[in-house]
Structure 1
Amino acid sequence: MRRYLPLIFGGAALALPAALAWVFLHPPRRRHSKTPRTGLGLAYERVQFSSLDGVRLSGWLVHAPSPRGLVILSHGYSGCRDTMLPYLHFLHAAGFTALLYDFRAHGWSGGTQATLGLTEPRDLQAAIRWVECQPGLQALPLFLLGESMGASVSLLVTAQEPSVRAVVADCGFARMDGPIQKRLETLFGEPMGKALAPATRSIGEHLLGTPTARIAPEEAIGKIAPRPVLIIHGANDALVTPDHAHRLHAASGGEAQLWFVKDAGHTLSVRTAPDYADRVVGFFEDALR
């Protein structure tokens, strides 16, 4: 029996990281509790389209009267499209049509596995393809706005899609490997989170089939210029720490605009900064000009 103890203890030591890695890639689905109509009093259309690898995606299209442009809104990891309603509120008031959608394995979209930004760019690219096929939308100037994982995906996609006029990235990560440890520290406390991170990340990378460090908006952002980029980050963000914003800004060659919101936590700037709407709308208006 004693000779099996190392195997027993080794297996037990890997059980928790393996379970955590599985949960990271299969987050509990959050279904929207509000729609544009119930949350903001706005009419909307339910739309569906397929990702570039065939995953069925679900979304809302909200028309603005006499639209000046169209903004595709991308939510964060473990969220869904109703988390983007605060952005929709001021964008609609400013005359922008908006498309909100759920990433794969989130909300009402298909798919069983989230990939932390590895395959989600295919979802956003599918949203762009869908817009480009709609007669009433295809001529509108196109913008992207995302928060957290959606921010990073928006940067990755803008670098590949020349039709995107400008992009706003709120609390996006520069590279995916860091936020995994921070999330574990939030769940279990700093010492245990640090201890669990290497094994959890290693098992997750095995399941993904690629190192998380390869999910790297900081390697793509330099390809976006001369198109405008606005990086927004909560100064008190403990999940995706502010150094990610500094790294993204540096990787842009200083071309991107960088705005830290005082006292804001992760993705809370839109609710914290009184001038958030004015800044984002002004940024898009400058891009239109």
Structure 2
Amino acid sequence: MIIGFPRFLLKRRRLWLAISGCGASVCLVIGWIGSEFFLTPKRRPLEPRHQAVIASPDDFGLSLSEDFSVTGSDGVSLRWQLISPSGNPGEAVKTRRMRQKLSSLGRRLPNWGEIRGTVVMLHGRGGIKEDAFPVAERIVAAGFHCLIYDARAHGESGGRFSTYGSREIADLKAVIDAAEAQYGREVLGPLVGFGISLGAAVTLQALPDEPRLIAAVVVAPFSELPAVMDQAVGNVISPRMPTILTRAVMLLGGARGEFSPGKIRPVESARRIAVPVMMVHGEKDGVIPIAQGKAVYAAITHPDKRWRPVPEGGHGNVLAVGGDDLYAEMILFWLDCLAKPQADATPELF
């Protein structure tokens, strides 16, 4: 016995230290494994549905450019492509159906292949640029190009880690710069944004400082990264998982990815947005609950904003559940925005 320190207290102290050490080790292991999932979404290969479009784009009402690459500000290679309306469309079921719907709503449509502007499209976490094909089939019906690209750490783009907007904002600017250098502003026309899930969150964060995007439609954005991480951990592991473990994942993830997860807050960016925004969210979204979308929408101070809930819509199926009615609303939103005078307008093409 150490003088003044009973043996039984020493044993208790050692036991407590051992338990604490084990607990810290468990937290560290869980944090490391969780941070890997947090930072590195699984890269998906092309699927048969993508390959069908690539093999015969005219049959889907599309014309596909070659794939291009641009190097981001930190050296990461980003793979991008421009989709245009086909000048010689085949069956093009979705495109023709959308043209009929827009015409029935009294909208004058351009001839096949004529361009009104370009929609810059950002996919969600775990997505690839080719996921945009079915959306583009509808959008080109109104005479839009679609500029698509693989986000960093996704598809054929470089980068090991996703940073949820910390570096993705600069990536978006780099892709737009590359497209303008390749095609020219006169060919692209006015630019509008479209993002879904993570892509929606990045779009919201980019809008305050990217004046080339004159409007945007965002689908199922999260309000802040800590909130969506808590939701994800609850969905994947358990709703009762201690918050300290979620924070450990974020802390380690931020250290490894060299960014601050707590600062990824689209809800704050929303307060500085100075262009029209349409927000779409599924009422049954279990990945990013609709309350987060409502919080972002409430934060937008620009008077031209639209809220479009989708009854029965989940996270991955919100566009499918909304159907052609939703697609038409999004397209009309962009067209209405293009019809308004712009402070720094791109040369008018129609």
TM-score greater than 0.5 by the shorter chain: yes
Instruction: Please give the alpha-carbon distance, in whole angstroms, between the structure 2 residues aligned to 1:194 and 1:85.
Output: 38
Secondary structure of 2:179's aligned partner? helix
CA contact (8 A) 1:49 1:126 kept: yes
Matching residue of 1:280: 330
Please, which of 19, 44, 53 is the counterpart of residue 30 of structure 1? 44
Q: Deviations over 1:205-256 (max 9, x none)?
A: 333444322111222223222x211111111111111111111112112632
Q: In structure 1, give the amino acid aligned to 2:64.
A: Y
Shift of the 189–86 alpha-carbon distance from structure 1 to 2, 3 Å rule, reads: farther
Matching residue of 1:241: 289
Alignment of 1:26-105 (within 5 A): 26-33=40-47, 34-35=50-51, 36-38=53-55, 41=60, 42-45=62-65, 46-64=67-85, 65-105=113-153
Shift of the 220–192 alpha-carbon distance from structure 1 to 2, 3 Å rule, reads: closer
Q: In structure 1, give the amino acid aligned to 2:307.
A: L
CA contact (8 A) 2:120 2:146 kept: yes
Q: Is 1:108 paired with 2:156?
A: yes
Instruction: Please give the alpha-carbon distance, in whole angstroms, between the structure 2 residues aligned to 1:172 and 1:128.
Output: 21
Matching residue of 1:252: 300
Shift of the 38–191 alpha-carbon distance from structure 1 to 2, 3 Å rule, reads: farther
Q: In structure 2, give the amino acid aligned to 1:44.
A: L
1:194 Cα deviation from its structure 2 partner: 5.0
Q: In structure 2, give the amino acid aligned to 1:24.
A: F
CA contact (8 A) 2:224 2:265 kept: yes
Please, which of 265, 275, 300 is the counterpart of residue 216 of structure 1? 265
Secondary structure of 2:288's aligned partner? coil
TM-score (norm 2): 0.76
Instruction: Please give the alpha-carbon distance, in whole angstroms, between the structure 2 residues aligned to 1:234 and 1:86.
Output: 19
CA RMSD of aligned residues (A): 2.1
Alignment of 1:166-177 (within 5 A): 166-177=215-226
CA contact (8 A) 1:55 1:104 kept: yes
Alignment of 1:202-213 (within 5 A): 202-213=251-262
Q: Deviations over 1:120-165 (max 9, x none)?
A: 1111111111122234544501011000110111111121111111
Structure showing greater Rg: 2
Matching residue of 2:175: 127
Instruction: Please give the alpha-carbon distance, in whole angstroms, between the structure 1 residues aligned to 2:34 and 2:82.
Output: 35
Q: Is 1:21 paired with 2:70?
A: no
TM-score (norm 1): 0.92
Q: Which runs of 5+ in 2 are unaligned?
A: 1-13, 86-112, 340-350
Shift of the 54–264 alpha-carbon distance from structure 1 to 2, 3 Å rule, reads: same
How many corresponding residue pairs?
288
CA contact (8 A) 1:75 1:81 kept: yes
Please, which of 194, 209, 214 is the counterpart of residue 160 of structure 1? 209
Q: Which runs of 5+ in 1 are unaligned?
A: none
Runs of 4 or more above 6 Å deviation: none
